[in-house]
Amino acid sequence: TQLLEQSPQFLSIQEGENLTVYCNSSSVFSSLQWYRQEPGEGPVLLVTVVTGGEVKKLKRLTFQFGDARKDSSLHITAAQPGDTGLYLCAGGLSGGGADGLTFGKGTHLIIQP
């Protein structure tokens, strides 16, 4: 059972457009992280959100944690080719074993010049 569902799985848009990707679950998470993975590299942390309803901004990227802490979204404004990559959400489960991180399958994002 996949605890974290990411959508869309693939997204290809033109430079300058806006987009939103989603990370949804039926489970409540104590925290949620977003990572970006570029081809040939490992995932790199973008942000961690902890409080229900929390919004964090990282330049043109806006991250939101749902009020119920079951979902999160990543919005990119005026996408650029450098935003191309695989975006992964990872949820932290309180009391959920020693690992504490569950990854979604990711959204493959391509920004065309």
Partner 1 sequence: EAQVTQNPRYLITVTGKKLTVTCSQNMNHEYMSWYRQDPGLGLRQIYYSMNVEVTDKGDVPEGYKVSRKEKRNFPLILESPSPNQTSLYFCASRINPTMNTEAFFGQGTRLTVV
Residue ranges in contact with partner 1 by CB under 8 A: 29-31, 33, 35, 40-45, 48, 50, 88, 90, 92-94, 98-101, 103-106
Task: Provide the pairing of β-strand 55-58 with 19-24.
Answer: unpaired
Closest separation between CB of residue 18 and partner 1, Å?
25
Closest separation between CB of residue 71 and partner 1, Å?
16
Going from the C-alpha of 106 to that of each of 36, 45, 96, the distances in angstroms are 9, 14, 21
Phi, psi (degrees; rounded to nearest 5) at 38? -100, 155
Closest separation between CB of residue 99 and partner 1, Å?
6
Taking residue 76's Cβ as centre, other Cβ atoms within 10 Å add up to 21
Whose Cβ is closer to partner 1: residue 76's or residue 107's? 107
Whose Cβ is closer to partner 1: residue 12's or residue 18's? 12
Contact 4, 87 (CB under 8 A): no
Whose Cβ is closer to partner 1: residue 82's or residue 99's? 99
